[in-house]
Amino acid sequence: MGCPTKTWKNKERKVAEFFEGERTPLSGGNSKITRADVIHDKYFIECKYRKNHSVVSLWDKTKALADTERKTPIVALCEKGRQGFWLLIHNEDWEKLK
């Protein structure tokens, strides 16, 4: 069985590649470059690798509904008392938004 850290490190590399950045070695407080998980000129990217994220379950339900209408699923997260909103999209849908 492989080392579990290799999985999350690989995910960080994939995210870095997607944004044309580089995975931060010793990310977090130990890095001398940035506290972000990805080295990038414009973006501070934090990666969270978990078995499940509750918001992804919401996205899965939204995707099923969007698929029936042949549309791109996007989940907008809003919090009471806060300005603006957050958008959750799948990386494979990124180009469709442009």
pLDDT for 5-53, tens place per residue?
A: 689 999 999 999 999 999 998 766 677 789 899 999 999 999 999 999 9
pTM for this structure? 0.82
The closest of 98, 55, 60 to 77, measured between CA atoms, is 55
State the Cα–Cα distance between residues 82 and 98, nearest whole angstrom. Answer: 27
Q: What average pLDDT is seen over the chain?
A: 91
DSSP state of 2: -
pLDDT for the residue 4: 58
Average pLDDT of the residues in 67-80: 97
The closest of 29, 47, 30, 48 to 38, measured between CA atoms, is 47
pLDDT for the residue 47: 93
- Which residue in the block uniquely carries the two structure tokens 């339900």? 61
3-state secondary structure of 54: helix
